[in-house]
Amino acid sequence: MHIIYNALFLLGGWRWGDWRNWEKYYPTILFFILSDLLHNFLTYNHQFWHFQENVFPLPFLNHTTISLIIMFVCYPVTILIYLGYFFKTNKWKKRIFYFVFWVMLYLSVEYINLYIGLISHHNSWNMWHSVLFVIFMFIIFPIHYKKPLLAWIISGIVLIFILTQFELPLDKMK
């Protein structure tokens, strides 16, 4: 099922992504990927969520490969579509609508995946945490696009907050 989700994102990116200007979005794409790689590294022994494939179980589709597929397919497509349209208008009502659309899209996919067992939450993480996290995510992308250093500073503060709030056992890290 994760393969189907990623294929749908790829088709959406092909159709609606701002491919002509991909170089403008490349730093934010890398920011998105690197942030998730850091998350996976820091929470390796204390995961907040875990991907599994139970619809089309293939031996190579484990949490790590699913995460990598999402990082290198969904994340670039998300940025190419989201930022491509976000900055096409100066009207805040349209930007807010677009922001809400993407937050709802990501949360709907997560909720469906929870329901059918493609993702599970762990270590006190729940859907409400995902709501806050996804809202933060779609706020930070335009900030990173315009002011990357500010986005890194804000993300660092949020990371420290998450590490302390969820009592991530740093002593158990490899």
Nearest by Cα to 155 from 136, 132, 171, 168: 136
Judge whether 44 and 174 are in contact, CB under 8 Å. yes
Distances (CA, A) of 143 to 5, 49, 72, 89: 27, 26, 21, 16
pLDDT of residue 45: 84
Q: Dihedral angle at the C-alpha atoms of 111, 155, 52, 79, nearest 10 degrees?
A: 70
Confidence of residue 172 (pLDDT cuts 50, 70, 90): low
pLDDT of residue 57: 73
Judge whether 83 and 28 are in contact, CB under 8 Å. yes
CB-count burial class (<10 Å; 0-12, 13-18, 19+) for 60 = exposed
* % of the chain with per-residue pLDDT over 90: 68
Beta bridge partners of 50: 120
Judge whether 2 and 118 are in contact, CB under 8 Å. yes
Q: Indicate whether 168 pLDDT > 70.
A: yes
Parse the chain into domains and list their residue ranges. Answer: 2-172
Count CA atoms within 13 Å of residue 27 on its CB side. 12
**Entry pTM:** 0.91
Q: Supply the DSSP string of 34-99, one letter for each residue.
A: HHHHHHHHHTTTS-SEEE---SS--TT-SHHHHHHHIIIIIHHHHHHHHHHHHTT---HHHHHHHH
Number of neighbouring beta carbons within 10 Å of residue 103: 17
The predicted-structure confidence for 22-69, as pLDDT tens digits, reads as follows 999 999 999 999 999 998 888 888 889 999 887 777 778 888 999 999
Q: Indicate whether 174 pLDDT > 70.
A: no
Confidence of residue 81 (pLDDT cuts 50, 70, 90): very high
The predicted-structure confidence for 120-148, as pLDDT tens digits, reads as follows 999 999 999 999 999 999 999 999 999 99
Mean pLDDT of 80-85: 94
